[in-house]
Amino acid sequence: MTTFDILAFGLIGICIIVSMMRGLIVEIASLITWIVAFIVAKIFAVPFAEIAFSSFEPQALSIALSFVTLFFAAWLVQHFLRSLLTSAVKASGLGSVNRLLGGLFGAAKGILLVTLAVTVCSFTDLPHTDGWQQSLSASYFEALAQLAVPYLSSVITEQLPNPSL
């Protein structure tokens, strides 16, 4: 077992533990919260900047401030709704099932994060090091990263120096 394996399995383990503590409902609601907050901020940043921050110069500053404000406001509203949903799940007695499914979600999230890290590392010389080559798990994560390549921008894929990706 190499340093890569220890770090990869450590990250996956941490994701599993954190997700089990939070539960599936909170994990999915959290993911939705971040996505919706980003979409709301992206769609309404310019109109909100014209209304609330019209006196700020340059305009890019007012738009950036508007984006951050809307993102935070949308995130807060959804965080409140998420806490209500979590209370309802606890009251219904589905706590242990929620935590078990949260652990499975955490495992998937951890695997995705390690795969993302492998994709980023493919832009470096790390995949050619002895520790990487002797790793028990690197080839599996490289195979997962290879599945993501068709979905990456052609600008990024042209820059991939690692032929395995």
- pLDDT digits over 55-64, tens only? 878 878 888 8
In angstroms, what is the C-alpha Rg of the chain?
21
The arithmetic mean of pLDDT across residues 23-45, rounded, is 88
Residue 158 has pLDDT above 70, yes or no: no
pLDDT (0 to 100) of residue 69: 93
Give the Å distances, CA to CA, from 127 to 2, 114, 157, 158: 13, 14, 16, 17
Kindly tell me the number of DSSP H helices and DSSP E strands found in the chain. 7, 0
pLDDT interval class at 138 (50, 70, 90):
very high
pLDDT (0 to 100) of residue 9: 97
Give the Å distances, CA to CA, from 56 to 49, 51, 73, 135: 9, 11, 20, 53
pLDDT (0 to 100) of residue 10: 97
pLDDT (0 to 100) of residue 82: 83
pLDDT (0 to 100) of residue 163: 47
- The predicted model scores a pTM of 0.71
Give the Å distances, CA to CA, from 106 to 27, 98, 114, 137: 8, 12, 12, 18
Range from 85-94, 122-131, 139-148 carrying the lowest mean pLDDT: 85-94
